Structure 1
Amino acid sequence: AECRWEGERVRASQLGRSAGDWVRIHADSSVSVDARILLRTDDGAVIAMTYQGKADRPPADGGVIFTAPTFETDDERYGWLNRIQAVGLGRRTGSTLVYELYALTAGA
C-alpha cells in the first residue's frame, strides 16, 4: 500500500516497499496494530516511523484507530522529530486509511 504524509512541517512518501504492519483482531473485535515504515521527505531526508495502536473494531467496520507514533532520523533538518511523541487517530475514508497526527512536546 502507498503511504503519503502531508503536514505543516513534513511532506513525505513511503520509501520503496519499506513498510510492515501487523494487525490482530481479537475475539471481542478490538484491534491491535504494530507498524513500521520508512519515509523519504520531498527534500530527500529519510525518517523511520514506528507506531502501535488500538481500535474498538476494524476500520473497515467504522472503527477509529488510536496510535502512538515515534520517529527517528539522522537528518538535522528533521531532528525535532527525534524529540517528540506523537499521538493520532486513523479513519477509513473510502478505500484509504487517513491518520491525523499530533506532536506532544515538553514545551517551548
Structure 2
Amino acid sequence: MNLTSLAAFEVRLDPVLDLGDSHLGRRRVINIVGGTFEGPRLSGVVLPGGADWQVLHPDGTASIDTRSTLRTHDGAHLYLSTNGIRHGSPEVIRRLNAGDPVDPAAYYFRLFCRFETGDERYRWLNRTLAVASAARTASTVRYEAYALD
C-alpha cells in the first residue's frame, strides 16, 4: 500500500455553534464558509454550505463528521465527507477551543476522506479511499489528503 498526494486543503469556518451536552457528548456544529484545495491530482475551491457535525467526548476527544461540496479548477463538482478524531492534552484542547495558535505536532488530528461525483473525469475518486493529517486554527482547518493506493 502506498500514499499518493491528492491535495492540500484550507477550509474556512464560521464560529462554533455549541448545541450543548447530549447522551453522545457535547454536540457542536461548525459551518464551512469556503476554502481552497491544491495538489497534483486535485485543485479548486470548497463551496460554502457544508459543516462539521462534531461531538466532544468527556475525555477531550472530538469526533469529526464533515460534509462539503468542492468545485474543481475545471468545473467538476465533488462531494467530500470526512470522519476522524482529534485529541490532545487538556491544555492543548483548551487552547484549540479558545482559538489560540497551537503547533499541530502537539495534538492528534487525523481523517478518513471519501469522495463522490458523477463527473467522468473524477469518477476514479468514487473508488478511492484517502486519509489526511489535519491542523485547526481559529478560523480554518488545514489538511493534507493522500490516496491509499
Query: Do the structures match in fold with TM over 0.5?
Result: yes
Structure with greater Cα Rg: 2
Show the counterpart of 2:145.
101
Residue-by-residue CA offset, 1:6-53 (whole Å, 9 max, x unaligned): 1111112122x2312111111111110100000011110000001111
Letter in structure 2 aligned against 1:5: F
Show the counterpart of 1:83.
127
Letter in structure 2 aligned against 1:36: R
Structure 2 unmatched runs, 5+ = 1-12, 14-33, 97-101
Q: Percent identity at matched positions?
A: 38
Q: How far has the Cα of 1:95 moved from its partner?
A: 4.6
Structure 1 unmatched runs, 5+ = none
- Once the two structures are overlaid, the 10-residue window that deviates more, 93-102 or 82-91, is 93-102
1:14 counterpart = 2:46: yes
Higher strand fraction (1 or 2): 2
Q: Tell me which of 87, 93, 100 is aligned to 1:56.
A: 87
Q: Tell me which of 73, 85, 108 is aligned to 2:117.
A: 73
Letter in structure 2 aligned against 1:30: T
Structure 2 CA distance for partners of 1:4 and 1:64, relative to 1, 3 Å: farther
